Amino acid sequence: MKTLATLIAFFFTLTAWAQNPPAKAPASNCYSDWYSLFKERGAKPIADGMQDVIIAFRSTSYSECFMGRISVQNGKVNGRLQVQKTDGTFEDWDKRIDENYFNSDGTLKNEKMLEITNGMTAEFLVTEGEYARLFFYKFVTDKPKANKKAPSPASLVKN
């Protein structure tokens, strides 16, 4: 009886040891995911007022995305970017756009940086060396409806 118990224990140990570890899922790239969605589907015009956004950052080795909001006026961002905290409140974002985007008087060199095109802002560099973009996710166009496939003739024609 002891031999049988030892054999069973050995079998279970061997089986557990021989199993391969589960494969790791590929790392997600939220920046690329959002960018691809907007490039593929486009967006409706962005309404004036405070709008919810995805704040997406990327570098060569990672991406990170946060919920936020910003004011929009006449198709351009207008005002300070705010990030949403885990308790639902919003605070001004502490990251700053790289100084190379500004004139010596502190104004943007290129006003096109403020424009919203296809539901996205232009990509911009922040002082930490990351690239960022805002995605106005509530304005992405609906997914196109697929065409319905025809059934076989035998299922439609009965005589």
Which one is predicted more confidently, 7 or 88?
88
pLDDT higher than 70, residue 27:
no
3-state secondary structure labels for all residues of the chain: CHHHHHHHHHHHHHHHHHCCCCCCCCCCCHHHHHHHHHHHHCECCCCCEEEEEEEEEECCCCEEEEEEEEEEECCEECCCCEEECCCCCEEECCCCECHHHECCCCCECCHHHHEEECCEECCEEECCCCEEEEECHHHECCCCCCCCCCCCHHHHCCC
147 falls within a domain: no
149 falls within a domain: no
pLDDT higher than 50, residue 128:
yes
10 falls within a domain: no
2 falls within a domain: no
Res 35: pLDDT: 95
119 falls within a domain: yes
Instruction: Give the percent of the chain with pLDDT over 70.
Output: 82
**What is the residue range of 101's domain?**
30-139
| Span 31-86, pLDDT tens digits | 999 999 999 999 999 999 999 999 999 988 889 999 999 999 999 999 899 999 99
Confidence bin at 96 (pLDDT 50/70/90):
confident
pLDDT higher than 60, residue 1:
no
The predicted model scores a pTM of 0.73
**Domain count of the chain?**
1
13 falls within a domain: no
Res 11: pLDDT: 41
Which one is predicted more confidently, 69 or 103?
69
20 falls within a domain: no
Confidence bin at 19 (pLDDT 50/70/90):
low
